[in-house]
Amino acid sequence: MNDFRPLNRARPGAVRRLAVILALGIALPLAVTPRESLAQTNELVIPIAAGGAMDAALRAVGGELARSWGEPVVPVNKPGAGMALGVRYLLGLNTDSKSILGGGLPMTTSQFRVGGKPFDMNELSPVVYLGWQATVLFIRATIPATTVAEFVQWAQGQPQAVLFASSGVGSSPHIGAEEFAALTGIRINHVPFQGSGAFTPAILGGHVDAVFDAPSTRVHVQAGKLKALMLGSSTPLANWPELPTADKAGLAGFKSGTWYGLFTSPKTPASVRQKINADVNAALRVAEVRERFERLGIEPVGGSEEGFAQLLKTEHARLEQIIRSRNIEIQ
């Protein structure tokens, strides 16, 4: 397990005392006087497997917090169950620390799971909104289309539904595909995979037609293996300005992607939450962190606890409308 630890330096007085002991030839006992306790260890719970945009973004923030606090911030990956395993792990931690949980869109969609939600979002305290990562509409290179309009025209002429890949039911790529179908009127078949590592070979091999994926998949566009038609946002990417936004592609108001944010246990004191909020906002202004977010295609935002709570309510309502209208069954 990797962790972020500040550099500890021996105090000059301790060094001088040790030098005197060694010079006098005094034997040191095997059992020494207990040293000062280590700095408090805080955990950064990451509810997905290591690797990927969310993991990288959270680790970047965690590293900056460790430097700011002068205390270890240990990243702990707890993937599974629509991020519920990460939630449960956080709620079981000692609330004396400044331990935090990262979260994203699957936490919201899990609230609509058939048979009951795996956890209640009200069990968590929203602390700070990190930012939004818009996804990109990628299609296989053999489809004769270079714009959204041409792709829709092609899709409408197919005898069978267009195959859209995703990283699972209720994932950001799935929600994006369903909303796209609702707005354009095309017929789609959803093909869920166990993560982007599984669906990327499928679309590269021509087994599926399209996917809403992270901007980092651009490498396959540059290699001529995929086409990128649209960004699921009205705000262009700083490092990919030529990619049309949803508005410019003719789908005003279309939104595809995921929110990222940080939570604490409700038992965490308000003063601790306020400190975390202030320090994360400061971290998001650090050039190295912003550059990391930009490379990942994430727009850093920050803001207040109340602002993040309101965003979660807005996302809940938006996703509920899509899930209900498209008859999506979250398992």
Contacts of 273 (CB under 8 A, 6+ apart): 125, 127, 264, 305
Contacts of 126 (CB under 8 A, 6+ apart): 261, 263, 305, 308, 309, 312
Q: How many CA atoms lie within 13 A of 318 on its CB side?
A: 20
How far is 47 from 290, CA to CA, in rounded Å? 22
Confidence (pLDDT) at 37: 43
> Which residues belong to CATH 3.40.190.10 in the chain?
136-255
Confidence (pLDDT) at 39: 60
Confidence (pLDDT) at 259: 96
Task: Give the class (CATH, top level) of 41-133+257-324.
Answer: alpha beta
Confidence (pLDDT) at 220: 96
pTM: 0.82
Question: pLDDT band at residue 80, thresholds of 50, 70 and 90?
Answer: confident
Q: Are 155 and 163 in contact (CB under 8 A)?
A: no
Mean of the per-residue pLDDT values for the chain? 88
Confidence (pLDDT) at 177: 98
pLDDT in tens, 95-147: 788 999 999 999 999 999 999 999 999 999 999 999 999 999 999 999 999 99
How far is 164 from 192, CA to CA, in rounded Å? 8
> Which residues belong to CATH 3.40.190.150 in the chain?
41-133+257-324
Confidence (pLDDT) at 15: 42
Task: Give the class (CATH, top level) of 136-255.
Answer: alpha beta
Greatest extent of the chain over all pairs of C-alpha atoms, in Å: 92
DSSP classification of residue 40: P
Amino acid at 195: G
How far is 98 from 216, CA to CA, in rounded Å? 31
